[in-house]
Chain A
């Protein structure tokens, strides 16, 4: 019997300033699709229509529109930056399609036409600060790429720090296409912060880690064990490319290649056949893989790729993925996720030394987790985890 193809629009930039993330995303997507297409239990095949907007935000909307007009795609998997997501949202609304978003972002959005599989600040920044501030201090320096991700994460960071009685020693931005980080290094050296929160994206992120590593070698006061760089968006791909200079970088993520969970062990075993044993799996790869797996399972269960029916299935029960058993909140359309804190070793791999006790529901508007009272507080994680068990009852 021939299995009917279900076309899926894919919008990831494999060229441009954050091409590395786009390549990982497409790899994760293709793996999930290959698994679905090899499995006769699915009465359809997924057929990707892959577009490369080249990292130019304005191109995303037009490409999404052209693809949805020219094909029967009703699902778009893609976008990495919030800027590009905002460009695609009006298009999926117009076509009554569904956007599958799988990257960490700054929150303050909950669209009916989007399913959010990436972490929002209560699932990345707040757990990161809960770990970092008690250990290193409450006087950070905030840096980021010059767009909404950096601006907003740094704003939330500042609110957390100031609510906890600390002080932000500086806040600086680098244009997305720039790798000019030396002025940052000079300023950080003179301000001597307790740690540096980096929301840099792309080549600047790697350039900064390398430059900061050189600073730490010439001045031991900036060794990562004393004043680390911390991040909510650095990935395995970044630290593998940076190599030994990334050692000590502390990262909050919902997936690490080295996670010792049963679901990740099973995932890695399957991937070994596809990529060989050496391939590190990054957070973007695993997140997009998970989103596409949920998409396929939901189409099968709904018996159609009609977005409303698929969305109803996705928000009705949890799905087993390499990220754990994911439930998507029917009100916010955001996945509950389990944050982990990892530290880069000198061999381009992470070690994971802290994980949330349970899946943490997303709080995209920081309504349950907002200051005052100090966001840097394990209690908010405990409170949200209580909520998680309630959510899991939805089966």
Chain B
């Protein structure tokens, strides 16, 4: 058994952004079976709709400006409903940030797996975005680490490897990341400089 996240569908709310159509009705029927509360809207989401848990959207007749958020920044998983496989339409759906898709015509299957795949892809993308943000922060702090190592080398008369080892030891003692520890080491220096 994996620890895979499975969305609590029975408490989910969905919106289907599609003109009235048998395929939209089929998605609605499947969602009802999964006890996902759902409704169809067209031609655009309302400002309050950004609180729903998943949005199905028409990739065929869709156009820019249908969503109340910038393209690619949906706050929930998106599932494209694709009829035409023309690359222009597929690329438009991707630009909206589609996490999964269903091919039209939609029958009585497909929605459940699309929900799981979209929820997983959305969570993975969000977790990766968080990781990337934290790595970027750490990258930004690299000059501070260099300054701290250099300070320890000078003050403690250490070579670079030993100074880095000491910085790591300080970070562990203080229960901080190496970047935060480096910041504190440099801050102490700044305080010392100021009080001098």
Contacts and interface: CB of A to CB of B under 8 A. Distances in A.
B105 A109 contact: no
A70 B18 CA distance: 30
Interface string A150-172: 01100100000000000000000
30 contacts: A58-B21, A61-B22, A82-B84, A86-B60, A86-B83, A86-B84, A86-B104, A89-B105, A90-B22, A90-B104, A90-B105, A106-B86, A107-B86, A108-B84, A108-B85, A108-B86, A108-B87, A109-B85, A148-B60, A148-B84, A148-B86, A148-B89, A151-B89, A152-B84, A152-B87, A152-B88, A152-B89, A155-B86, A155-B87, A155-B88
Interface in B43-76: 60
Contacts of A152: 84, 86-89
Which bracket fits the contact residues of A? 10 to 19
Contacts of A108: 84-87
A148 B83 CA distance: 11
Contacts of B85: 108-109
Interface centre among B84, B86, B87, B88, by most chain A C-beta atoms within 10 angstroms, is: B86
A242 to B, nearest CB: 29
Nearest to B91: A155
A78 B84 CA distance: 18
Contacts of A151: 86, 88-89
A90 B107 CA distance: 10
A125 to B, nearest CB: 13
Contacts of A82: 84
Contacts of B89: 148, 151-152
A106 B86 CA distance: 8
Interface in A300-335: none
Contacts of B104: 86, 90
Given A61-B22, A90-B22, A90-B105, 18 more contacts: A58-B21, A82-B84, A86-B60, A86-B83, A86-B84, A89-B105, A106-B86, A108-B85, A109-B85, A148-B84, A148-B86, A148-B89, A151-B86, A151-B88, A152-B84, A152-B88, A155-B87, A155-B88
Interface in B14-35: 21-22
Interface residues of B, number: 12
Interface of B: 21-22, 60, 83-89, 104-105
B85 to A, nearest CB: 5
A58 B60 CA distance: 14
Of B60, B84, B89, most A-chain CB atoms within 10 Å: B84
A106 B60 CA distance: 14
A383 to B, nearest CB: 21
A152 B87 CA distance: 8
Interface in A36-58: 58
Contacts of A109: 84-85
Interface in A86-128: 86, 89-90, 106-109
A178 to B, nearest CB: 16
Nearest to A366: B87
A296 to B, nearest CB: 30
A387 to B, nearest CB: 23
A151 B64 CA distance: 14
A117 to B, nearest CB: 20
Contacts of A61: 22
Contacts of A90: 22, 104-105
A89 B23 CA distance: 13
A107 B87 CA distance: 10
Contacts of B86: 106-108, 148, 151-152, 155
Contacts of A106: 86
Contacts of B83: 86
A120 to B, nearest CB: 11
A82 B89 CA distance: 13
Nearest to B92: A151
B50 to A, nearest CB: 27
A109 B82 CA distance: 13
A363 B84 CA distance: 17
Nearest to B23: A90
